[in-house]
């Protein structure tokens, strides 16, 4: 029944859904970076963070393969694995930042209604593909040609789960959104992301970047730390810096990466850590690259010592380092969402990002709920996001 509901142009199913040791054997690549990371996740049921739950596997289609994660929501899950957390819990947490009481009240009632819609869709029951359990999952080469086969296989394997592909945008993957629509997916506005593309030509140096560069050129308080200078003994401090920024300053709904994850990432070189040390050798800022296909990267891990004076400009210094690395390597960086004005003043390309949802195999009531969610997100949330500059 599920197969007959798919778009008639889909090819015969040839993708394989693999688990445990079979998945480990199917993951191509070396003993470091993304392949090593996901072998650890599927082979040892290793969770990157305590609030990133789900069954982890691998789907292969010819020469292409990518991670899959299966979810039946837990209340504590972070947004990389939960549409409910992204669309409900995050907005609720932001309500107190609204200066207008009537606007805050209207938003609260709106979220109550949207909660009912998402519950009707059972949006917490999903199987996600190309899901590395990071806030931003780079789109690798070969994905576009595998949309149909992978979707069909996931529908057959998980007939009661919506099939979800996150992080769909036109800068990171031109043409992917159109391909997904043709294959029967619906697009739900997710957020505005900011990209820096140095693959074809060097990044443009804006006046703001040049000003930052001049300001910190003679700063001798800190020195850059390269990946080979990051030690196991730095793991606790790196986790602390992440916690200061992403959890304590921003939101406890973000992934709770801890010391154990950082130590494993250092040893397995899953993330490429760069940082700033002070004169005593103490790390005061850190970021971690996650790279796919050598040219597409994101920064799921960043932190700095928020107890130090803001006038030190630690975040601006970290960004200068990130910008320099992307330029030198001629990479595409998806720098995720948030701090929109900061990133645009430094040359970022804003792009609307979507969650692509395939629901044609689900009961009509769930499909109707997803349809309503899409209408609200695309007609109301998207214009607001674009106008707000977030």
Residue 318's nearest CA partner among 330, 336, 296, 301 is 301
Rounded to whole angstroms, the Cα distance separating 5 from 152 reads 10
- Give the percent of the chain with pLDDT over 90: 78
- Report whether pLDDT(12) > 70: no
Q: Where are the beta strands (DSSP E) in the chain?
A: 16-18, 55-61, 64-72, 125-129, 162-168, 186-197, 222-225, 272-278, 283-292, 296-304, 332-334, 349-358
CA nearest neighbour of 233 among 281, 294, 290: 281
- Give the range among 93-102, 190-199, 328-337, 378-387 with minimum mean pLDDT: 93-102
pLDDT bin (cut points 50, 70, 90) of residue 13 is low
Please give the average per-residue pLDDT across 202-209, as a whole number: 88
| pLDDT confidence band for 390 (50 / 70 / 90) | low
Question: In this predicted model, what pLDDT tens digit does every residue of 300-356 receive, in sequence order?
Answer: 999 999 999 999 999 999 999 999 999 999 999 999 998 889 999 999 999 999 999
Q: Does residue 30 carry a pLDDT above 70?
A: yes
Domain boundaries, the chain: 3-192+351-388, 197-349
- DSSP secondary structure letter of residue 243: I
Residue 389's pLDDT is: 66
The mean-pLDDT minimum among 185-199, 336-350, 355-369 falls in 336-350
Identify the pLDDT of residue 362: 99
Mean pLDDT of the 358-365 span: 98
Residue with tokens 């805050």: 104
Residue 4 confidence class, pLDDT cut points 50, 70, 90: very low
* Model pLDDT, residue 2: 47
Under 8 Å CB-to-CB from 172, ≥6 apart: which residues? 138, 139, 193, 195, 296, 332, 334, 351
Per-residue pLDDT, 1: 46
Distance CA 369, CA 183 (A): 20
Looking at residue 75, what is its pLDDT? 78
Question: pLDDT digits over 39-65, tens only?
Answer: 999 987 788 999 999 999 999 999 999
Residue 203 phi, psi dihedral angles, 5° rounding:
-65, 145
Give the mean pLDDT of the chain: 92
pTM: 0.93
What is the domain class of 197-349 according to CATH? alpha beta
Give pLDDT, residue 201: 87
Q: Closest by alpha carbon to 338, among 135, 166, 106?
A: 135
Mean pLDDT, residues 96-121: 85
Mean pLDDT of 8-14: 56
Q: Is residue 93 predicted with pLDDT exceeding 50? A: yes
Mean pLDDT along residues 183-197: 96
pLDDT tens figures, 213-255: 999 998 889 999 999 999 999 999 999 999 999 999 999 999 9
């Amino acid at each position: 029944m599920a197969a007959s509901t798919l778009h008639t142009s889909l090819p015969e199913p040839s993708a394989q859904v693999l688990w445990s040791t079979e998945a480990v054997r199917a993951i191509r690549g070396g003993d470091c970076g993304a392949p090593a990371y996901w072998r650890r996740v599927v082979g040892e049921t290793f969770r990157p963070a305590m609030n990133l739950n789900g069954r982890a596997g691998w789907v292969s289609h010819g020469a292409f393969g990518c991670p899959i994660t299966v979810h039946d929501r837990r209340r504590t899950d972070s947004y990389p694995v939960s549409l409910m957390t992204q669309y409900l819990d995050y907005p609720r947490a932001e309500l107190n930042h609204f200066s207008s009481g009537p606007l805050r009240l209207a938003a609260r009632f709106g979220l109550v209604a949207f909660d009912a819609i998402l519950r009707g869709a059972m949006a917490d029951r999903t199987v996600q593909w190309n899901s590395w359990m990071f806030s931003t999952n780079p789109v690798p080469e070969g994905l576009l040609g595998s949309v149909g086969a992978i979707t069909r296989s996931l529908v057959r394997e998980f007939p009661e789960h919506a099939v979800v592909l996150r992080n769909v945008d036109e800068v990171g993957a031109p043409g992917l959104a159109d391909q997904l629509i043709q294959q029967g997916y619906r697009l739900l506005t997710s957020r505005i992301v900011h990209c820096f593309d140095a693959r074809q030509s060097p990044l443009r140096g804006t006046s703001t970047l040049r000003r930052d560069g001049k300001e910190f050129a003679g700063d001798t308080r800190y020195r850059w730390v390269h990946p080979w200078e990051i030690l196991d003994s730095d793991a606790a401090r790196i986790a602390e810096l992440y916690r200061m920024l992403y959890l304590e300053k921003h939101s406890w709904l973000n992934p709770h990466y801890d010391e154990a994850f950082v130590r494993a990432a250092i040893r397995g070189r899953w993330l490429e850590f760069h940082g700033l040390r002070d004169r005593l050798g103490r790390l005061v800022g850190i970021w971690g690259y996650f790279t796919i296909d050598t040219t597409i990267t994101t920064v799921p891990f960043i932190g700095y010592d928020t107890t130090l004076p803001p006038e030190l400009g630690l975040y601006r210094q970290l960004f200068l380092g990130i910008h320099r690395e992307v330029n030198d390597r001629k990479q595409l960086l998806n720098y995720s969402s948030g701090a929109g004005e900061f990133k645009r003043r430094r040359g970022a390309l804003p792009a609307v990002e979507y969650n692509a949802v395939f629901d044609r195999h689900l009961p009509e009531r769930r499909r109707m709920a997803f349809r309503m969610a899409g209408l609200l997100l695309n007609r109301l949330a998207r214009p607001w996001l674009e106008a707000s500059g977030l």
